[in-house]
Amino acid sequence: MPKVKPKRSNPVVDMTAMCDVSFLLLTFFILTAKFKPQAVVAVDVPTARATVTPENVIVITVNQEGKAFISLKEKVTRYAMLEQLDAKYGQNYPGITGLTQNQKEFFSLTDTWGTPIEDTKRVLSMNGTEFKEYQEKQMPGIPYDSLHNQIGDWVQAARYATEGNIKIGIKADKNASVEYVREIIKRLTEKDIHRFLLITTLATGGGAAEEEAKAEE
Amino acid sequence: MADIDTSGGGGGGKHSGGPRSKKMSTRVDLTPMVDLAFLLISFFMLTTTLNKPKAMELNMPKKVIDEKDKQDVGECQVLNVLLDTLDQVWYYEGLKVAGLQKTTFAGDEGIRKVIMKMIKKVPKECPQVRRWKDQNGDGQKQDNEFAMADRDAIVLIKMLKGARYKNMVDILDEMDITDCQIYAIQDADPIEVEAVLNGGVVKEFARE
């Protein structure tokens, strides 16, 4: 009689289920991931140990040359902000009154705005390519000197548009002179705004300063 | 599950007549695919969570309109911190500009140590604070910020023209790390600016 050979079991594990799960997760992460929106204004923010996550915030971006820009995340709020600016401060700025529906729509599609108010109409009548070039090369920033406190008016308009339910973030380049930031804070304090969020990034381990010192050594 | 049935079940009327072709295994090894998927998952997980911006809260004071809201603080409570354009930190206590010293932001040995020392020193050595404690007990009641200004160290942050914004964030970060409650951002006095520019040497001490 021949010997009964024990049947050898195949050690191969079926990977299909695993593959299914992993791709499901992958799809989930890809779909939920929000990529950094293409930054029109490049700023290198400083690192800090800060813990607050900025939400519901109007961001005042200050680049290295001290030009200021405003950005808001939601399109609806941007639209409302423009309307409020017109309604509350229209008499000071003839450039903002009587915008067409198209121009307003155009504004609400732009997430970073850096044009003096008197120039608004001209910029909003540009076509796509013209505007893109303008945005990349010659956006002059919003004035914030003591005579032209336009930053203050924009922020006030944003506060009206959200019924005060908005925080004011300042996202300045780490190499920008501190004068610019203090000037902006001063302008906003004049408008009775006293709380700010300074946008930073997380330092990877250790104190921010520590790391900086190590890098410079 | 992943095998494809190749036995030709739907082959119609063909019966096993001719020479049967050898069955090939259609099982695909999915391990590398799973590897890749997990690699991508980890990539997306890491990039989504680490990219979030953080923010630091900064509360600026209202303009003091009422004279009675102003209050006196003891000279010994005050630590002046000056930030210059070369990322250096200068400090002196009280009104003694002549005692200006230089330090850095580097970790525990830099300005952090100075602030920590000041916070520890003030309640023990400062006569104003001691007097306050005699009147109000051991300072347990923390009713408002004014009460705190009576007994804790006060850091005055002064930035020279052209100092980098990064340094402002760094010093505010140090305030957070050392748990220093009372600080103010101010302009530097001309005499302080001069002292810093002279490398810490005060030429003439004229300050009222």
Helix (H) or strand (E) run with residue A213 in it: helix A208-216
pLDDT band at B49 (very low <50, low <70, confident <90, very high): low
B56: closest CA among A71, A48, A155? A48
Dihedral pair phi/psi, residue A197, rounded to 5°: -115, 120
Confidence at residue B12, expressed as pLDDT on a 0 to 100 scale = 45
Confidence at residue A212, expressed as pLDDT on a 0 to 100 scale = 47
- State how far the alpha carbon of A206 is from the alpha carbons of A18, A209, A210, in Å: 38, 8, 7
Inter-residue contact A175 to A64 (CB < 8 Å): yes
Tokens of A203: 């330092």
Inter-residue contact A216 to B190 (CB < 8 Å): no
Q: Does domain B74-197 sit in CATH 3.30.40?
A: no
Q: Where are the domains of chain B?
A: 74-197
Confidence at residue A58, expressed as pLDDT on a 0 to 100 scale = 92
pLDDT band at B10 (very low <50, low <70, confident <90, very high): very low
DSSP A110-132: -SEE---GGGHHHHHTS-HHHHH
Inter-residue contact B180 to B153 (CB < 8 Å): yes
Q: In what order do the strands lie in the sheet with B101-103?
A: B101-103, B89-93, B78-83, B154-159, B182-187
What 8-state DSSP symbol labels residue B6?
-
Over residues B170-180, mean pLDDT: 88
Contacts of A49 in chain B (CB under 8 A): 173, 176-177
Nearest-Cα residue of chain B relative to residue A214: B106
| Average pLDDT per 10 consecutive residues for chain A, totaling 217 residues | 72 84 89 70 82 86 90 88 86 80 87 86 84 82 88 90 89 90 90 88 56 45
User: b/e string for B2-17 if b means 16 or more Cβ within 10 A?
Assistant: eeeeeeeeeeeeeeee
Higher pLDDT, B108 or B10: B108
Over residues B120-138, mean pLDDT: 71
Over residues B111-127, mean pLDDT: 83
CB atoms within 10 A of CB A11: 5
CB pairs under 8 A between A and B: 176
Q: Which of A25, A182, A200 sits opposite B55 (nearest CB)?
A: A200
Confidence at residue B8, expressed as pLDDT on a 0 to 100 scale = 45
Per-residue pLDDT tens digits for A58-99: 999 998 888 999 988 888 888 998 888 888 888 888 777 778
| Residue type present at position A116 | P
B181: closest CA among B142, B153, B141? B153
Distance (Å, rounded) from C-alpha A59 to C-alpha A167? Answer: 8
Nearest-Cα residue of chain A relative to residue B88: A213
**Who's near A39: CB < 8 A, 6+ residues apart?**
A112
Asked if A52's CB is within 8 angstroms of B51's CB, the reply is no
Distance from the Cα of residue B39 to its chain's centroid: 32
Asked if B31's CB is within 8 angstroms of A29's CB, the reply is no
Q: Where are the domains of chain A?
A: 56-216
pLDDT band at B19 (very low <50, low <70, confident <90, very high): low
